[in-house]
Amino acid sequence: MKKRYNIALVAHDHCKADLADWVAFNRDRLKKHHLICTGTTGRIIEQELNKDLEENDRDYHRVLRLKSGPLGGDQQLGALIAEGKIDMMFFFWDPMSQQPHDVDVKALLRIGVLYNIPTACCRSTADFIIASSLFEDDSYQPQKADFNNYITRTIE
């Protein structure tokens, strides 16, 4: 069996339809992985993945839904990344709208880079990640960040 990734899916309100469309297009590739989403995005993604399926269908897919982003979901997701429980993140964010939780959004993107997880912030990058041969490669191990120098630094 191929590796089952823990994949984070997040979208701002104006990008939720685009993410849902992307998920529908990649349904077969995504349904074998664990999907973790923030609030409303999770409900939309779960509905998209299970469209036209009966609840007892063997392909029925449940999505782990965290709180809504502005209510702490971005921070919950950041904590999961810091704990090594997220393998990649698809975060379709809206660069044209100010977000009430903008500092949380920036912190989430920062933590994703800090822990070196593949992160797509737009559909084109998401397409490249999911179409990459590395997406299906069980042997690929991303380089883990080494924070030892930071942790053991001398404070003067």
Phi, psi of 147 (to 5 degrees): -100, 10
The reply to whether 104 belongs to the active site is no
User: Residue 89 — left, alpha, or beta (φ > 0 → left; ψ -120 to 50 → alpha)?
Assistant: beta
Out of 21, 57, 74, 94, pick the active-site residue.
Answer: 74
The residue count for the chain: 156
Which single residue is written with the structure tokens 């949380």?
Answer: 104
Catalytically active residues are 74
